[in-house]
Amino acid sequence: MKKGLFLAGCIFAGVSLPAATLTVDRNGGSGMYRTIGEAAAKAVPGDVIQVRPGVYREHVAPERGGEPGRPITYRAAERGTVFLRGSEEWKPVLTPVPGEKNLFTTPVPEDAFFGDFPNPFRRKLNAGGRDKKEPARPASGALLPYSLGQIFCDGGELRQSQTPEEVRRVPGSWIITPDGGNLLLHLPPEYDPERSLLEITVRDRVFAPARRGLGYIHIEGFVFEHCANQAPFPQLGMVSTRSGHDWVIRDNVIRHARTVGLDVGSEYWRTDLIPKTTPEDRKQLRKGGRHLVTGNLVVDNGLCGIAGWSCRGVKIIGNTVERNNNLSLTTSECDWEEWAGIKLHEADAALVEGNLVRFNGAHGIWFDNGYDKARITRNVVFGNIGSGIFIELGAGCVMIDNNIVANTTPFTGYYPGRGIYVHDASGVKICHNLVFDNAAEAVFMHNVTDRKTRGKTVETSDELVVNNIFCNNGGGVSLPVPGDRSENCVSDRNLFVGDVGFRYSGSTPWEKISGDAAKLLTAEEMNRVRVTKRFTPEVWPKVSGREKNSVFLTGREFGVRIKPFEPSLYLTIGKLPAFEPVPGIDRDFVGLSYGARVFPGPFQDLKPGATAYRLLFPVPSDK
């Protein structure tokens, strides 16, 4: 039965009434709600909103949250069978293009089709601080800008192109004509005009509260998809905590947002520019955090999978985050760099653990502007573009340990495919990782700007790179020359495999570096350095004082191979060196404890010969 004045779960006359289960079924039924929004309007702390299978086309916008120990829970009755979409069915008049198969034109959908929501096909995708209302058309040039609109055919997203020529060549693609009047669609071969379902996005959020700062909301088992959301900033995730706190987001699929799939932070520091915010909610600044995001599949979002600005204490554990930035956005389309599988700002005490972060068209995991007491541990970061793990702008301490970072490829010239990349950031501890087959250096740290953090100019100081395995990367470990903005940097006790060349990072003139080195090296050693502008493992410890206790092996002595789709890892080794343990790291990738002497890399049970590891493992549910 629907609840009336005496709401289950509330306190009445000093008595706490029992929580209720509110059932949602799009087909209706006795005592049931037809929409999730209707049930959300009635739910109070402790209630469970249970949603039966089906497609629900709505923006769920709760106006209240739960309480400690009494969350409001939104739960799919059967995981993966409740589809919450920001799209509506679309039945256009399609005019065939003469002489072309499955190529059609149709007018851009009328503004009235979208109701109160601005027509996304007339809005330009805009990552940065520029005008968010800039029109997508008219436009000219070799590449036409993306709009916020999305089109789906029988559940599959049709690719928005930037040239009409590509649309003619590629089935399953479309574009807005340069004058903005029509769409050119190349529908997939299986399109059936009598049976196929076409959908277009009409909402910029799918689950996001009406009020900012709500706490204790749980979301479990849904498929969230189709969303015409604008790019940061503000952060407008298809699923959004809106500066909330203590949420649990578990076992969902979050896919096909135009830009950000899930945001777990405080949206924007300019609260007057955050849409759909009441005046009294503008004070909700830097209030969000302490969420648990676990067991989700975050995939095929246009810009970023999981994002958060000011999200202290967030825990992102045991998720698969893949194929995000599927629009391949770069600085050509964006004046603000927000592309990543996972990107967190002001993420003090954040934990990113046990995630599979693969095949994103961007950096894998990126912490920016604040990360004290944060940790990135036991993740598999494979096949991303730019860098596997990126730390930017901060001081304090972030621990990067027991991760597998592999096969990173170049994004732009500035991001050439490093395993772990750090700039303008101090206190980065990189320990017990396996970093291999990355296009550029295994680890690269340097100062880039004169920005300030914690009241002082940024530095690359207090860095620690120990007990790692670095195999067949495009370089070794590069840290700046010691100086005023680079102090107390240690790289040692690592295992290197393959042809390794070392160099200093930063802008110190090569003439000075080579001049200082000449005082320490033989003439033959120095000639080799001048030709390659790299230092060999034999001479690097003499020049830098680093890697004095590191071990260097050939590819015949150590082998590594990954199967990214299982995923599994195969390691072959003769004998591993033993090193000193690192305080604060008490277990390896698979949960084994460290002893008084430890092996480099993320596995403490390696033995001579071949060892295979499955790379997915259960994550404790009580975290």
Structure tokens, 99: 């002489």
Task: Determine the CATH number of domain 93-200.
Answer: 2.60.40
Task: Tokens 């240690």: give the residue.
Answer: 490
Residue 26, sorted as left (phi over 0), alpha (psi -120 to 50) or beta, turns out to be alpha
Give the pLDDT confidence score for residue 413 in this predicted structure: 81
| Average pLDDT over the chain, rounded to an integer | 92
Query: Residue 29, Cβ neighbours under 10 Å: how many?
Result: 12
Query: From residue 307, how far is each of 41, 260, 293, 583 by CA, in Å?
Result: 27, 7, 12, 30
Give the pLDDT confidence score for residue 129 in this predicted structure: 67
> What's the pLDDT band for 515 if we cut at 50, 70, 90?
confident
Residue 332, pLDDT > 90, answer no
Per-residue pLDDT of 235-287, as tens digits, reads 999 999 999 999 999 999 999 999 999 999 999 988 888 888 888 888 777 67
Q: How many residues does the chain have?
A: 623
Residue 64, pLDDT > 70, answer yes
Q: Return the closest-CA partner of residue 126 out of 208, 200, 264, 228.
A: 228
Query: From residue 622, how far is each of 159, 233, 284, 315 by CA, in Å?
Result: 40, 33, 28, 12
Distance CA 335, CA 233 (A): 11
Give the pLDDT confidence score for residue 16 in this predicted structure: 56
> What's the pLDDT band for 620 if we cut at 50, 70, 90?
very low
Structure tokens, 31: 């005592």
Per-residue pLDDT of 584-604, as tens digits, reads 999 999 999 999 999 999 999
Segment 341-355 mean pLDDT: 97
Q: Are strands 173-176 and 182-186 parallel, antiparallel or unpaired?
A: antiparallel
Distance CA 157, CA 152 (A): 4
At residue 544, φ and ψ (nearest 5 deg) are: -105, -20
560 and 434 Cβ atoms separated by less than 8 Å: yes
233 and 132 Cβ atoms separated by less than 8 Å: no
Give per-residue burial for 471-496: e unless 16+ CB within 10 Å, then b. Answer: bbbbbbbbbbeeeebbeebebbbbbb
Number of DSSP helices (H) and strands (E) in the chain, helices first: 5, 51
Distance CA 24, CA 173 (A): 36
Per-residue pLDDT of 129-149, as tens digits, reads 677 889 999 999 999 999 999
Structure tokens, 258: 């135009």
Which amino acid makes up residue 416? P
Q: Return the closest-CA partner of residue 220 out of 317, 78, 60.
A: 78
Q: Which of 66-75, 322-331, 400-409 is predicted with the least confidence, judged by mean pLDDT? A: 322-331
Q: Return the closest-CA partner of residue 23 out of 43, 6, 4, 44.
A: 43
For the chain, what are the domain ranges? 93-200
Structure tokens, 69: 């120990």
567 and 588 Cβ atoms separated by less than 8 Å: no
Q: Return the closest-CA partner of residue 366 out of 385, 383, 384, 343.
A: 343
Give the pLDDT confidence score for residue 4 in this predicted structure: 32
Query: Residue 209, Cβ neighbours under 10 Å: how many?
Result: 23
Asked if the bond preceding 224 is cis, omega within 30° of 0, the reply is: no
Helix axes 523-532, 510-518, angle to 10 degrees: 160
Give the pLDDT confidence score for residue 9 in this predicted structure: 35
